[in-house]
């Protein structure tokens, strides 16, 4: 599996429908509306940073054009800098 390095996390983008369950709707046409994704893996540095309460399984909201696309085992993921993460959904 892929382990991020530095202040980075690996995220799987959430499609529009999946999002209505969590309540956050990010309409396509909106100007630069942030996007949503599920955290798949976090780096050692993120794990040890108390001010970055981000864990595997969290649903995070991030700036639209942030991150780098990467394909693992044929599936599309995004490597995100934590600076680009606006917040997360708390149950």
- Binding residues for a copy of itself (CB under 8 A): 1-6, 8, 10, 23-27, 30-34, 41, 43-45, 48, 50-54, 60-61, 63, 68-74, 79, 82-83, 85-90
In the complex, minimum distance from the CB of residue 44 to a copy of itself, in angstroms, rounded to a whole number:
5
Tell me the closest approach of the beta carbon of residue 65 to a copy of itself, in angstroms: 12
* Residue 5, CA distances (Å) to 8, 9, 16 in order: 6, 8, 29
What is the rounded CA–CA span in Å between residue 54 and residue 57? 9
Closest approach of a copy of itself to the CB of residue 67, in Å:
9
* Shortest Å distance, C-beta 13 to a copy of itself: 16
Sign of CA dihedral 57, 60, 64, 66: negative
- Of the chain, the end-to-end C-alpha distance in Å amounts to 27
């Amino acid at each position: 599996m892929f382990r991020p390095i530095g202040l980075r996390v690996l995220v799987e983008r959430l499609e529009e429908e999946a999002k209505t369950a969590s309540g956050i709707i990010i309409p396509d046409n909106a100007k630069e509306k942030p996007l949503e994704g599920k955290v798949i893996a976090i780096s050692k540095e993120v794990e040890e940073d108390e001010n970055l309460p981000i864990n595997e399984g969290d649903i995070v909201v991030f700036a639209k054009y942030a991150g780098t696309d990467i394909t693992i085992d044929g599936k599309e993921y995004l490597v995100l800098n934590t600076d680009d993460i606006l917040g997360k959904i708390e149950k």
